[in-house]
DNA sequence: TTGTATGCATAAGAATATTATGTATATTTG
DNA sequence: CAAATATACATAATATTCTTATGCATACAA
């Protein structure tokens, strides 16, 4: 597990990306999926996930559907039209941000000194 | 400029990385350096930077030295021994985190469906 | 029957940022 | 030369977004 603070700000983008690649998903499934893809390196906590889902829904990016499975109810989320657009934007923004971060993380002493 | 929330959690690592590649730097210089390296894409705000620097100093990762320049005082920061170790760790952790994030961001519908 | 897994949700608290403000000197520009 | 911008530090109020803890409930395995 990584220092949790790194995850800050990326959670919504992760949710939107997963939903953009699948028809619909429910909360618990998202946590398991992320755990699986990242080989256990990222574990979403419920206290972070559910408020984030609710916020995305409130913002009109997700719609929900409750489906009974046995005696339990699952709440499925799917992207709205607006959510689909936002998903693409957020993912693109995250990619660019990571490239920019790399430019700092991979800087050499020479390049840094160049203009100090 | 990126959505600010992405920067959350990466600020300390950025500071430690810059200091690990230079002898010493002062706060304002760090903001300018980051702006230059990222071509204006990341602008550190003072309200975030100074508290972060103070925290790193309080944690024993940075030491300070005040130097008069003209009639003004600059507060230079440099890594302590402990800060140097932490810098390496944090940078490594950030790199690994970015790799992990990529595995989510670049996932294809097929791979995702594989185990839904 | 007791723990683990599944499934949702919220509340208290911590961490970390934004925005605004304050103080002060130096330099550039109209 | 006055005013704006740049340099340089700092903190307070507020917002956001997590963690941790708690609660409820069903299903299944040891």
Domain ranges of chain A: 4-106
Report pLDDT for A67. Answer: 94
Mean pLDDT, residues B98-114:
83
Give the torsion through C-alpha atoms of A74, A75, A79, A82, to 10 deg.
170
Mean pLDDT, residues A53-82:
95
CATH architecture of the domain covering B4-113? Orthogonal Bundle (1.10)
Q: What does the block give as tokens for B72?
A: 């003004």
**A48 CB neighbours strand D below 7 A:** yes
Looking at CATH, the fold of the domain delimited by A4-106 is given as: Arc Repressor Mutant, subunit A (1.10.10)
B81-105 vs A27-37: helix crossing angle, rounded to 10:
120
Nearest to A113 among B2, B22, B98 (CB): B22
Question: In which band, very low, low, confident or very high, does the pLDDT at A116 lie, cut at 50, 70 and 90?
Answer: very low
| Under 8 Å between Cβ of A67 and A74 | yes
| Residue B74 CB burial class (10 angstroms; 0-12, 13-18, ≥19) | middle
Report pLDDT for A9. Answer: 86
> Dihedral sign, CA of B101, B103, B108, B112?
negative
**B15 CB neighbours strand D below 7 A:** no
Q: What is the pLDDT of residues B9-48, one digit of tens each?
A: 899 999 999 999 999 999 999 999 999 999 999 999 999 9
B11-20 vs B27-37: helix crossing angle, rounded to 10:
100
Per the prediction, chain A carries an average pLDDT of: 90
Question: In which band, very low, low, confident or very high, does the pLDDT at A6 lie, cut at 50, 70 and 90?
Answer: confident
For the cut 90, the answer to whether the pLDDT of residue B6 exceeds it is no
A78 strand-pairing partners: A63
Nearest to B93 among A3, A10, A38 (CB): A3
Pairwise CA distance, residues B97 & A48, whole Å: 18
Å from the B2 CA to the D2 C1': 37
**Residue A67 to chain B, least CA–CA distance (Å):** 16
Q: What is the pLDDT of residues B52-73, one digit of tens each?
A: 999 999 999 999 999 999 889 9
Helix, strand or coil, per DSSP, at residue A25: strand
Å from the A84 CA to the D28 C1': 37
For the cut 90, the answer to whether the pLDDT of residue A114 exceeds it is no
Which range is most confident: A53-57, A109-113, B105-109?
A: A53-57
């Amino acid at each position: 597990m990584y220092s949790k603070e790194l995850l800050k700000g990326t959670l919504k983008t992760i949710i939107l990306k997963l939903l953009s690649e699948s028809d619909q998903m429910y909360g618990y499934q998202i946590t398991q999926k992320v755990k699986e893809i990242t080989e256990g390196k990222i574990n979403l906590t419920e206290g972070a996930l559910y408020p984030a889902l609710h916020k995305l829904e409130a913002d009109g990016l997700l719609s929900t559907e409750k489906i009974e499975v046995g005696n339990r109810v699952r709440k499925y989320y799917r992207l709205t039209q607006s959510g689909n657009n936002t998903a693409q934007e957020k993912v693109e923004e995250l990619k660019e941000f990571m490239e920019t971060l790399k430019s700092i993380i991979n800087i050499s002493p020479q390049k840094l000194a160049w203009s100090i």
